[in-house]
Amino acid sequence: MNYWTRNNPVSLLVAEGNLWPHCRRLSQLAELPETHQILRQTCRDYADRELSPIASRLDKEHSYPLKQVYPNLGAMGIMAIEVPEELGGAGMDYLAYSVAMEEISRGCASTGVVVSVNNSLYIGPILKFGTEEQKKEWITPFTTGEKVGCFALSEPGNGSDAGAASTMAHQEGEEWVLNGTKAWITNSWDASATVVFATTDKKLKHKGISAFLIPMPHPGLSLGKKEDKLGIKASSTANIILEDCRIPLSNMLGPRGAGFKIAMQTLDSGRIGIASQALGIAQASLDCAADYAHKRNAFGAPIGRLQAIQAIQILGGMGYVTDMPAERHYRDARITEIYEGTSEIQRLVIAGQILKEYKQ
């Protein structure tokens, strides 16, 4: 039976309970390899058991029990999904990353973003551009969940425009000296290291930007106040301030002047995680709304039979208060239209790629 037809609206299927066995998640629309199915079920069970019950409290407290949650995720391989096993990771692929991100974010979006940043934005560029020594030093300790990393690209005046980095780095003897401010850095208050982008040659514009690895805490590096955000409140976001921050020459990531390339490729990979996070939040909203629509009666019938409407509208007044998770999902979802490139930027990227394909 085709469940996606006008004759069988989703609202009716939800009300009758027929949707659940067939399509709880978009990841179930296609056959997944057995290893990915096991990963999905493992992440789903963990999210239901450990994350969903505490998500509301963490949102209200604006804090996260890092030492309680992330070692468990590290043991499951979630903190380093694509990292080879010899470096301590799970040795899986982008599909596995997407599946895990969807299920973890369904349980708690704040957990999802920490996992995303550690995998895509911190570990990702080191895995692709780092030396073998850098991979051992800067990746392996971050696979267990005992440590998390962050990614410092955005700046107060230019957002994520990697080609306009005002943070400067110059060489003094055997050290790089960095000065500048990075803004909106997710994981900053909890991170043990960061990938930082700074200009090493202004005359070369975007080709004069380089990437660096800095441990945290570190002399010359300080943090701004924790931002009070609309959503993903349990994750930390703050400015990173660099004032004569000195690091060894060996802490440059990739060749000098490769920073723009590293940033762009890293963001491309990171968008997979953000899309999966948005999907997980959407699934959590559907779960909440569908369950309520199935149980709540009005005019002698489950409200799911009346019309197909959005989650908060289905819950009515209950969707507007913190007693139900729908309002948190609503707030958490908004950020997925902003970070890793706004929706407007994503449309430009998509349009450019389409035009490129047709030109070929």
Active-site positions read: 340
Residues paired with 176 in a beta bridge: 171, 247
In the chain, the DSSP E strands lie at: 149-152, 168-172, 175-186, 193-199, 209-215, 221-223, 237-248, 252-253, 297-298, 301-302
**119 close to 198: Cβ distance less than 8 angstroms:** no
Structure tokens at 229: 């955000």
**154 close to 129: Cβ distance less than 8 angstroms:** no
Query: Phi and psi of 297, rounded to 5°?
Result: -105, 145
By DSSP bridging, strand 149-152 and strand 193-199 are parallel
Closest alpha carbon to 78 in 98, 52, 62, 51: 98
Structure tokens at 11: 């609202």
By DSSP bridging, strand 209-215 and strand 193-199 are antiparallel
Closest alpha carbon to 94 in 48, 138, 54, 127: 127
d(CA 177, CA 39): 43
**Helix or strand or coil: residue 170?**
strand
The CA-to-CA distance between both ends of the chain, in Å, stands at: 40
d(CA 227, CA 246): 26
Q: How buried is residue 185: exposed, middle or buried, by Cβ count under 10 Å (0-12/13-18/19+)?
A: buried
Q: How buried is residue 285: exposed, middle or buried, by Cβ count under 10 Å (0-12/13-18/19+)?
A: buried
d(CA 170, CA 178): 7
